[in-house]
């Protein structure tokens, strides 16, 4: 893969994350209310993700979980198993984490802004790698 292709993919991921944050901010009126965000995100979500495939930091903080893994396990356990297809790759700050989902146990909830699950075909198109269980994109504050 050429440097230009890698840069293009990074730009696409940043644009996707920014669009998600913008939709969330617009949906909540900037106050972070998850009820309004959930209703709007269902209608405004792209074909790649649904509201079931995204968790906000506020949603994670409203669990009894001690870390990102525990909170995701409580709210959307299917995200940790790639919806039954195998463990997803985990990306934090655009970098693939060698520890995979185990790395989520090391991340305090207060540091997480958003977690997004990408289906395998979307993960492959954006990351250029075989990702049998999809990918979790973790955005930190």
What's the CA gap between 115 and 104, in Å, rounded?
A: 10
**CB-CB contact of 115 with 138 (8 Å):** yes
Parse the chain into domains and list their residue ranges. 3-140
pLDDT-based confidence at residue 124 (cuts at 50, 70, 90): confident
DSSP single-letter state for residue 119: -
Stretch 103-115: mean pLDDT:
96
Closest-CA residue to 16 (of 88, 105, 85, 118): 118
Q: Is 136 helix (H, G, I), strand (E, B) or coil?
A: strand
Query: Among the CATH numbers 2.60.120, 3.40.50, 3.30.530, 2.170.130, which is that of 3-140?
Result: 2.170.130
pLDDT digits (tens, 9 = 90+) for 18-76: 555 554 555 545 444 443 333 333 333 334 556 789 999 999 999 999 999 999 999 99
pTM: 0.64
């Amino acid at each position: 893969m050429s440097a230009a292709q890698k840069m293009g993919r990074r730009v696409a991921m940043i644009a996707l994350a920014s669009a998600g944050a913008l939709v969330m901010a617009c949906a909540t009126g900037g106050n972070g209310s998850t009820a309004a965000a959930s209703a709007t995100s269902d209608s405004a979500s792209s074909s790649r993700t649904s509201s079931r495939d995204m968790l906000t930091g506020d949603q994670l903080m409203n669990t009894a979980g001690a870390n990102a893994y525990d909170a995701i396990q409580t709210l959307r356990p299917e995200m940790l198993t790639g919806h039954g297809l195998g463990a997803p790759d985990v990306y934090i700050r655009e970098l693939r984490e060698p520890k995979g989902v185990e790395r989520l146990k090391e991340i305090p909830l207060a540091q997480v802004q958003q977690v997004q699950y990408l289906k395998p075909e979307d993960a492959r198109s954006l990351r250029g790698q075989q990702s049998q269980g999809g990918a979790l994109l973790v955005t930190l504050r």
